[in-house]
Amino acid sequence: MIYTLQDVKNIINVSAEVALSLKELLTELDSRSGDGDLGITMEKSAHALMIEICKYEGKDIGEFLIKSAMSVNRAAPSTMGTLLSCSIMELGKEFKGSEEITCEQIVKVPAVIVDAIMKRGKANRGDKTILDALIPLADVLQASYARDMNLKLALKEAASAAAKGANRTKGMIAKVGRAKWIGERSRDYPDGGAVLCAVLIENLSQLD
């Protein structure tokens, strides 16, 4: 199967809508273990992405993603906003000059995002961050697709892995960021970024 720029725009638009719907939950979770700005950060990021979807009239998927990354960076220069923008920027570089992308390229997207976040955020799996859901998502997505060559199945299995990873962050003590200084108090709630990741991939796995 081949994905066009319009398909990419649709995926991003769905993701933005999901992020907007989670604003209150993300704010609550982040207020328990951070500075409480995750909800508003994702709201600003989602609006920036939606505007770029409407504005961009070219055909280059990579160029669209690079412009989207810049828009997010301007709209939400917070920790998560920066991680999101640098992740989208890396994807833009990956797909620069492409008007179509394949399933084989799609399944590598989460791994590219993992690398971008690890390099910029200096975090790893087990630190109680989005990576606790994103890393198992990336691993299962590629493994499942390599085994069955079925993207729909791979997405469903990846969504399950992400949900389990997000659930496991409840009980962890945060090791990076503002939550690190809260210590034991961060143990009682799941990480907002991990929850966001799990809900996003669950919704994307249901797309036709």
What is the reported pLDDT for 186? Answer: 67
Minimal CA–CA distance to 193: which of 5, 42, 43? 42
Domain boundaries, the chain: 2-204
Tell me the pLDDT tens digit for each residue of 140-180.
999 999 999 999 999 999 999 999 999 999 988 877 765 55
> Residue range 5-25: average pLDDT?
97
What is the reported pLDDT for 122? Answer: 84
Mean pLDDT of all residues belonging to the chain: 93
Which residues fall within 8 angstroms of residue 24, CB to CB, at 6 or more apart?
Answer: 39
What is the reported pLDDT for 208? Answer: 78
Interatomic CA distance for residues 75 and 43, integer angstroms = 10
Which residues fall within 8 angstroms of residue 149, CB to CB, at 6 or more apart?
Answer: 103
Interatomic CA distance for residues 142 and 40, integer angstroms = 32
Interatomic CA distance for residues 171 and 189, integer angstroms = 7
Residue that the structure tokens 């399944």 belong to? 107
Tell me if 189 sits within 8 A of 32, measured CB to CB: yes
Measured CA angle at 195 (ends 201, 8), to 5 deg: 30
Alpha-carbon separation of residue 205 from 11, 15, 151, 201 (angstroms): 10, 11, 9, 6
Tell me the pLDDT tens digit for each residue of 179-196.
555 555 667 789 999 999
Measured over the CA atoms of residue 6, residue 63, residue 38 and residue 50, the dihedral's sign is negative
Tell me the pLDDT tens digit for each residue of 110-148.
999 999 999 998 889 999 999 999 999 999 999 999 999
Fold of 2-204: 1.25.40
